[in-house]
Homo-oligomer: A and B are copies of this chain.
Amino acid sequence: MPFLSEIPCMVTKSPLFSAVLANTMLSTVPGISGAGQSPEKTLLTPVLDAELISRGSISSMPVKPNTPTGCPTPASITRSMMELTGLHPLFINAGLVHPPTVPCMDVYGEPGGDPRFTDAVPGAEELFRRGSAIGIFLGRVSDLLVLGECVPGGTTTAMCVLRGLGYRARVSSSYADNPVRMKEEVWEMVSRRLDADPKTGPLDVVRVCGDPMIALSAGIFSTYPGALILAGGTQMLAVAAVAKGLGLPVPGIVTTCYVRDDASANFAGLAGEIGAEAYYVDPGFGDLGHSGLARYCIGEVKEGMGAGGAMFLAALLGHSPEAIRQKIFEFVRFYD
């Protein structure tokens, strides 16, 4: 497969890479999320990732930007691409437990609750509204927005939202061995709550069982006047599905071939059902000579922090696949 599945027809004079950060309390349930050294520590992952991408290293805690199994985090890939392109990322705090260590656009939201027991995003409507204010602002300062996310546990909330909207969704995971049974157990409890809720629209589904990133990102998309492309896997499909449910046009989406090839999920089929144009990046991590990156090919990590979108943007700005691969290799090698 080529580096990009398709060369998009986009011309940009002022591109912006941005990522929405949020927590869902689901990530603290042991076994749901692989995005952190322990269930509790998954709550910190968006903060540490944003620090790495903004500053080039993590100094607020004594940790390496590697997963518990020793793979480079997707944030490392995103950081590499910021260095290669010279872009300066904008992080957007949709609702975090821990305060970020770098400046973020903040909407003063709350972390998402556990959708098994409570409305996960009581302020979904207001988050959408604040997102729409951000979309207007970002439209004044950019003509292309690549919008990623970092929400540990977020594939499960995305699955609930997609199913709540009527899609037969199976979602991906940062684990090589997708904890499908646990996700189905969450869905069983969530579906009962959805049935009991007098919901009337897509943002009600997000309120019951989503996470703050989904509501905020949909709001940003609703007003952004330029080209916006969602950067992520099945989590971003939930955003596209909410946009569609609200009667908006459907945003395009870019992710890695590792998400597309995840047989435990059905990314491509879902994207087609939603009507989201999908782009895939194949960075060929299998033959870079780095064992941690190679494990992306057997299904670990796969995507996150807009890594696929960051590589896509670098390619769009004229950097060759070889330069992109080389840059990533050099960056992650430092943390072996």
Chain A residues close to B by CB (< 8 Å): 14, 16, 54, 87-88, 90, 93, 99-108, 130, 133-134, 136-137, 140-142
Contacts and interface: CB of A to CB of B under 8 A. Distances in A.
Nearest to A87: B140
A123 B317 CA distance: 38
A88 B136 CA distance: 8
A141 B14 contact: yes
A99 B87 CA distance: 30
A105 B105 CA distance: 4
A134 B105 CA distance: 10
A90 B137 contact: yes
Contacts of A137: 88, 90, 103
A133 B102 contact: yes
Contact of A130 (B14, B103, B106): B103
16 contacts: A14-B141, A16-B141, A88-B136, A88-B137, A88-B140, A99-B108, A100-B108, A103-B130, A103-B133, A103-B137, A104-B106, A105-B105, A105-B106, A106-B106, A141-B141, A141-B142
A130 B102 contact: yes
Given A93-B106, A104-B105, 13 more contacts: A14-B141, A88-B136, A88-B137, A90-B137, A100-B108, A101-B108, A103-B105, A103-B106, A103-B133, A103-B137, A104-B106, A105-B105, A141-B141
Contacts of A108: 99-101, 103-104
Most buried by B among A14, A99, A101, A108: A108
Contacts of A54: 133
Contacts of A140: 87-88
A142 B133 CA distance: 18
A130 B133 CA distance: 23
Nearest to A93: B106
A230 to B, nearest CB: 19
A25 B234 CA distance: 46
A20 to B, nearest CB: 12
A52 to B, nearest CB: 14
Contacts of A107: 103
A136 B87 CA distance: 10
A140 B141 CA distance: 9
Contacts of A99: 108
